[in-house]
Amino acid sequence: MVRIMRTGRVARGKFPQMIQFAKEITEYIKAKYGSQSSAYMDSFGEYGTVRWFHDFESLAAFEKSFANLMTDQEYWQKVSKAADLFIEGSITDTVMTSL
């Protein structure tokens, strides 16, 4: 099992828009790509941290899905509308494998 975690920090004053975007993009990815996807906001720790989790059977399955996502124009349109919702430079990706 492979889990991908994307983390970003919400820009000041953008919480309602970020919550809407997080739900929308998660549902889009689940519906279009069938991946196990979810979104969370940290309750403690660094204020305004949003995390997306996507689970795949293998690195090969992730790579295939990622390649499709990179050419998905509808996905990029949704993401481009959300550019001002994040603190610049705060987005990171982490790839984990199960033990």
Of all helices (H) and strands (E), which one includes residue 51? strand 49-56
Query: What pLDDT, on a 0 to 100 scale, did the predictor assign at position 35?
Result: 79
Q: Indicate the average pLDDT of the chain.
A: 93
The answer to whether residue 47 scores a pLDDT higher than 90 is no
Q: For residue range 20-37, list pLDDT tens digits in order.
A: 999 999 999 999 887 789
Q: For residue range 85-99, list pLDDT tens digits in order.
A: 999 999 999 999 999
| 2-97: CATH class | alpha beta
Instruction: Give CA torsion, residues 26, 28, 33, 36, to 10 deg.
Output: 30
In three-state secondary structure terms, 16 is helix
Query: What pLDDT, on a 0 to 100 scale, did the predictor assign at position 3?
Result: 95
Query: What pLDDT, on a 0 to 100 scale, did the predictor assign at position 9?
Result: 96
CA distance linking residue 2 with residue 22, whole number of Å? 21
